[in-house]
Structure 1
Amino acid sequence: MNDVIHLNANQTKGSDSRRVFVSKKAKVVIKRYLNSDISVIQQRFLFQTQKSTRFNTSALTNLVKRLYARCGIIGASSHSGRRTFITKLATSGVSVRVIAEAVGHSSIATTQRYIDVNDELISNAVELV
């Protein structure tokens, strides 16, 4: 089973506590990162700014945008990865209800707005009958 990170209400956007499931692959990458330099573990924040403080929403949004640009992904936003993740789950046949729970949406209507309908989704649907 995957590990679960429990976030309390003041750590989340919607001020509700929630669980975040971490895949085995992500867990390996995070452990490798944490073990790469012992000083990282001693920091107050896992990701911090040049002033050694935690990222605020704006700084994190800008960082993600710059990372996308460095990878040659032009026009992507901080939500692009989230939208892609949700669409990939839907394309793989995962229930919208399960996706909503995994990404912390209280309403499946919100989750449905994130799903980009594409030819693969339509093709998969047609093959069901």
Structure 2
Amino acid sequence: MMMLDLYAGMRAIEIAALRIGNVVDENGELNEQVYLAKEQTKGQRERVVYFNKRLRKALQDYIAEQGLGDKRQIQLLRTQSGNGFTADTIRRAMRSLFTNAGISNASSHSCRRTALTTLANKGVSVHVIREIAGHANLATAVPGCKQRQAGDGG
């Protein structure tokens, strides 16, 4: 769950909603692009999430270890009791991980912000970052970025 947040910039609600069928294609290969339906996102807007090579490898290993490859309709992340995580249980689990690591005031959203900031620091266009973040407003997607208003001369 931490890697989905940190490498893909996903929200807890999106991580909880991920199904095996979202990340694995019909041939059992990990998707580079994951399409989230509006029911799986904040704001009820469809969006695409991109998985880098490291994340795909980790997910491939996880799915193989858990024997989940052919269970396309179940949630990707499962609790020890076999139930799917909720967004709230993901938030609590990540806060606990941060607390146990001695990192105060961090949450699941901290990884998401780090993912987006890393992209900005690497020179990725703010418009691309907005798309990756799933934000309609550019200023929301990139901290410190202010959208120009029509007629402001900029």
TM over 0.5: yes
> What corresponds to 1:21 in structure 2?
50
CA contact (8 A) 2:36 2:47 kept: yes
TM-score between both structures, scaled by the size of structure 2: 0.64
Choose between structure 1 and 2: higher helix proportion.
1
Secondary structure of the corresponding residue to residue 113 of structure 1: coil
- Within 5 Å, which residues of 2 pair with 1:1-129? 3-38=32-67, 40-41=68-69, 44-113=74-143
Q: Match of 1:33, as an amino acid? A: Y
Secondary structure of the corresponding residue to residue 79 of structure 1: helix
Residue 30 to residue 50, structure 1, CA distance change in 2 (3 Å): closer
Corresponding pairs, count: 113
TM-score between both structures, scaled by the size of structure 1: 0.75
Structure 1 segments of 4+ aligned residues over 6 angstroms from their partners = none
Structural RMSD (CA)? 2.2
Question: Whole-Å Cα distance in 2 between the matches of residues 47 and 30 of structure 1?
Answer: 10
- Identify which range, 20-29 or 52-61, moves more after superposition: 52-61
Question: Whole-Å Cα distance in 2 between the matches of residues 30 and 114 of structure 1?
Answer: 33
Residue 71 to residue 41, structure 1, CA distance change in 2 (3 Å): farther
CA contact (8 A) 1:64 1:78 kept: yes
- Identify which range, 64-73 or 20-29, moves more after superposition: 64-73
Unaligned runs of 5+ in 2: 1-30, 146-154
Unaligned runs of 5+ in 1: 116-129
* CA deviation vs aligned residue, 1:12-34 (integer Å, no higher than 9, x gap): 11111111111111101110111
Residue 69 to residue 42, structure 1, CA distance change in 2 (3 Å): farther
CA contact (8 A) 1:86 1:114 kept: no
Sequence identity percentage: 35
Question: Whole-Å Cα distance in 1 between the matches of residues 113 and 134 of structure 2?
Answer: 13
| Distance apart, 1:52 and its partner CA | 3.5
Question: Quick check: which has more Rg, 1 or 2?
Answer: 1
| Relative contact order, higher structure (CA 8 A, sep 6+) | 2
